[in-house]
Amino acid sequence: MKNLTHKGVEDIVPYPPGKPINELEREMGIKDSIKLASNENPLGPSPMAVRAIIDNAHELHRYPDGNGYYLRSKLSQKLGVPFDQIILGNGSNELIELLTRTFLSAGEHVVQAYPTFLVYEKMVKAAGASITSVPLSNFRIDLRSIIKAVTPATKIVFINNPNNPTGSALSNKEMNEFLREIPDDIIVALDEAYIEFATDKDVANGLSLLNKHPLLFVLRTFSKLYGLAGLRIGYGFGSKILIEYMNRVRQPFNANTLAQAAATAALDDDDFVDKTLKTVRDGIDYLYRALNEMRIEYVPTQTNFFLIKIPQAGRRIYDLMLKEGVIVRSMDSFGLPDYIRINAGLSGENERFINTLKKVLEKQASI
């Protein structure tokens, strides 16, 4: 019998999504649980986006604008990037896939840091290409070692800045040096899903790197800052030639009507953006203070989430917290079994997380 698929797909481990709240409550027979596991916006979706969804619902008998005219125009205006250097995706996840589908052939090679966002490796393997994962150095992406891992077969390098799951970020200087050194014929995919949360002014920003490398592709999303994860809308910008090829492969209606309308409206929702950034920053400050008092180590972040080192196996604490209705992310699938990852929630959620962690750790210590 023929092989059903190729070795790359055989090797893929299914993505472990954070448990949806209703699934958890059903399984555990509990109510009022909180989820701090998927780096979502705790305030809900942008209200201006919600209004745009309602206003545009009567257009659903029509196919979406396959050119994404209004959203791309607005992004072009806001970012100062030419219209034809912007592409939309069904979440930035789709753009990761579109990039690998457009440019990678079987036998070619990709470099990424490890641990990082799990979807890059999945898509590379699905394309039949190979991947080298370069370990982080002290929780930071090691750009020197990434350059050393480049071979003549290397086609794409994925850099996630700030990096998920560590929250650490590369500086403008570091990224400039990297782009100077990396060969011109390698595509640099710079995933900035969390860039808007960075507080350090030195953190690299794809917008200022655009003309520093001939094959740069920057990915961003409406899922986090704008609270639209369930709608699936992201965008990419970068070298014109990359966007041109990706548009050949792209499904014509990949960004749906409501997603385009909502994202366009969200870009004007300054109040919501300010409120989100304040909620996240206040939340992270509170969580740092509480963990310091508990003498629990964590990895300082430039995003809306961070890693916490747990005195016992992270997976065990994850299970115990789940029973208490607090959903966090265990890090075994990222190769960090002693850690859990949480995102900043509302203040009451953050307090409940800390109180539950105390309770669970005390219970464990007394066993």
Ligand X SMILES: Cc1ncc(COP(=O)(O)O)c(C=O)c1O
- Which positions lie near ligand X, rule CB under 6 A? 39, 91-93, 117, 160, 164, 191, 193, 221, 223, 229, 234
**Smaller CB distance to ligand X: residue 160 or 302?**
160
Q: What minimum distance in Å lies between the beta carbon of 193 and ligand X?
A: 4
Stated as kind and residue range, the H or E segment containing 99 is helix 92-103
Please state, as a whole number, how many other Cβ atoms lie within 10 Å of the Cβ of residue 2.
Answer: 4
**Smaller CB distance to ligand X: residue 12 or 229?**
229
Q: What is the DSSP letter of 116?
A: S
HSE-CB at 79 with a 13 A cutoff on CA atoms is 26
Q: What minimum distance in Å lies between the beta carbon of 316 and ligand X?
A: 24
Nearest residue to the partner ligand X, using Cβ: 91
**Smaller CB distance to ligand X: residue 242 or 354?**
242
Return all residues near 167 (Cβ < 8 A) that are at least 6 apart.
194, 299, 300, 301, 302, 303, 305, 306, 307
Q: What minimum distance in Å lies between the beta carbon of 53 and ligand X?
A: 17
Q: What minimum distance in Å lies between the beta carbon of 362 and ligand X?
A: 32
Q: Give me the amino acid identity at 38.
A: S
Q: What gap in Å lies between CA 278 and CA 197, rounded to an integer?
A: 10
What SS3 class is residue 300? coil
The 3-state secondary structure of 295-349, one letter per residue: CCCEECCCCCEEEEECCCCHHHHHHHHHHCCEECEECHHHCCCCEEEEECCCHHH
**Smaller CB distance to ligand X: residue 164 or 260?**
164
Q: What are phi and psi of 341, to 5 degrees?
A: -120, 135
Q: What minimum distance in Å lies between the beta carbon of 164 and ligand X?
A: 4
**Smaller CB distance to ligand X: residue 221 or 254?**
221
**Smaller CB distance to ligand X: residue 154 or 160?**
160
The total number of residues shown for the chain amounts to 367
The pair of structure tokens assigned to 357 is 């962690």
**Smaller CB distance to ligand X: residue 263 or 320?**
263
Classify residue 29 as left (phi > 0), alpha (psi -120 to 50) or beta. left
Q: What gap in Å lies between CA 163 and CA 205, rounded to an integer?
A: 13
Q: What minimum distance in Å lies between the beta carbon of 292 and ligand X?
A: 26
Q: What minimum distance in Å lies between the beta carbon of 223 and ligand X?
A: 3
